[in-house]
């Protein structure tokens, strides 16, 4: 704190402190040796406070200083109400986690049911341990690009360029499986559901169990606090972002070629994790929680995918989802904090 001056009486000190508060400046009046010392709490406010102090000394009876007392009281009351409301929110959230969540997370339960149903209909267990199982009709209809359409799309790509390109047919086919033209074959036909439906496809028991556990732990919290509708938009947005990012990223950067199947809820789960992490830091009154151990596990697993090429993982879906959640969790909280200031 910095002292900006002294006043001779208490009433003057009250009026000046009140006026400073109406200007967003926090100050303190302290009596010492028969004088009232005016202290400013924030260093950045010192210069402007001194200008106000000088004006007050020159015009102590100005009406604006007398009116400031009432305004300051209103500001103090509003701040008290805000603090009480925040305290009540913390209590409500704690009580909320003490109760069963099943009735407050219908979307999470629906996503889990759909994922399990798709796992059964796609024979997901056949892909356990990296094995190549049979691609069922359901799987083909949910993937970003239908495997049955890829062959024709590749042939069209090669034939359209064979006469004008110096590349060999083999080189053209390698280019085709990594081209946006082939990868977007079904999307260009209006099959827009493919932008997100691959999140329901899982390969192996461990894959689906891991994703469902995390979806229940993290998604259940978010849906309970923010409601089913808002959580639904978050899931849809993160699913479209992560699936599209992973599917369209070039192979050289770890993207998925058109001839390779890719799926899973992990991109959405990482988005939820990033969101929860930001809310823990910038909006703790919401009561969202991700333990340090789980934070460590999620981060290490994501980094392992990027730096260990032997692991067949949708790294861009994981990383992109995490960044998506961080941004969505941070930006509104930042605006809220700025508005409060």
- Which domains are seen in the chain, by residue range? 2-90 (3.30.70.2350), 102-145+192-340 (1.20.1540.10), 147-185 (no CATH)
Query: So what's the pLDDT on residue 340?
Result: 44
Query: So what's the pLDDT on residue 86?
Result: 63
The rounded average pLDDT for each run of 10 residues, N- to C-terminus, in the chain (341 residues) is 88 89 88 87 90 92 86 75 60 44 78 96 76 79 92 89 83 90 93 96 92 94 94 97 94 83 93 94 88 89 78 85 95 63 38
Query: So what's the pLDDT on residue 166?
Result: 80
Query: So what's the pLDDT on residue 95?
Result: 44
- Which long-range CB contacts under 8 A does 137-140 form with residues at least 24 apart? 139/201, 139/261
Say whether pTM exceeds 0.75: no
CA 331, CA 125: separation in Å to the nearest integer? 40
Query: So what's the pLDDT on residue 189?
Result: 94
Degrees to nearest 5, angle at CA 103 with 97 and 106: 110
Query: So what's the pLDDT on residue 225?
Result: 92
Q: Which of 12, 198, 224, 318 is catalytic?
A: 318
Query: So what's the pLDDT on residue 125?
Result: 81
Instruction: Tell me if residue 266 is catalytic.
Output: yes
Sheet holding 2-7, edge to edge: 2-7, 35-40, 27-32
The string of DSSP letters for 142-204 reads HSSS-HHHHHHHHHHHHHHHTTT--S-HHHHHHHHTT-HHHHTTTGGGT-GGGGTGGGG---S
Query: So what's the pLDDT on residue 278?
Result: 93
CA 99, CA 123: separation in Å to the nearest integer? 36
Three-class secondary structure of residue 319 per DSSP? helix
Query: So what's the pLDDT on residue 109?
Result: 96
Query: So what's the pLDDT on residue 76?
Result: 72
Q: Which of 266, 310, 312, 340 is catalytic?
A: 266
Query: So what's the pLDDT on residue 11?
Result: 86
């Amino acid at each position: 704190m910095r002292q900006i001056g002294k006043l001779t009486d208490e009433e003057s000190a009250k009026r000046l402190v009140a006026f400073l508060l109406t200007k967003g400046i926090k100050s303190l009046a302290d009596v010492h040796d028969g004088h009232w010392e005016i202290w400013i709490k924030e260093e950045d406010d010192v210069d402007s406070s001194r200008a106000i102090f000088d004006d007050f000394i020159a015009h102590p009876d100005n009406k604006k200083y007398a009116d400031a007392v009432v305004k300051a009281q209103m500001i103090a009351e509003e701040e008290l109400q805000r603090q009480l409301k925040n305290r009540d929110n913390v209590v409500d959230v704690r009580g909320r986690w003490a109760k069963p969540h099943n009735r407050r997370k219908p979307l999470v339960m629906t996503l889990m049911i759909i994922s399990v149903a798709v796992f059964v209909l796609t024979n997901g267990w056949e892909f356990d341990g990296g094995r190549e199982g049979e691609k069922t009709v359901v799987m083909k209809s949910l993937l970003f690009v239908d495997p049955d359409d890829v062959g024709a799309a590749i042939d069209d790509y090669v034939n359209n360029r064979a006469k004008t390109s110096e590349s060999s047919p083999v080189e053209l086919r390698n280019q085709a499986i990594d081209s946006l033209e082939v990868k977007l074959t079904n999307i260009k036909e209006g099959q827009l559901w493919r932008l997100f439906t691959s999140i329901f496809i899982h390969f192996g028991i461990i894959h689906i169990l891991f994703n469902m556990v995390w979806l229940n732990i993290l998604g259940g919290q978010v849906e309970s606090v923010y409601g089913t509708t808002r959580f639904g938009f978050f899931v849809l947005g993160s699913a479209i972002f992560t699936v599209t990012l992973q599917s369209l990223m070039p192979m050289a950067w770890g993207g998925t070629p058109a001839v390779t199947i890719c799926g899973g809820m992990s991109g959405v789960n990482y988005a939820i994790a990033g969101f929860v992490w930001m809310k823990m830091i910038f909006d703790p009154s919401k009561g969202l929680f991700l333990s340090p151990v789980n934070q460590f596990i999620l981060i290490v697993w994501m980094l392992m995918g990027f730096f260990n090429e032997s692991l067949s993982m949708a790294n861009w879906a994981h990383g992109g989802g995490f960044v998506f959640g961080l941004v969505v969790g941070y930006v509104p909280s930042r605006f809220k904090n700025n508005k409060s200031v």
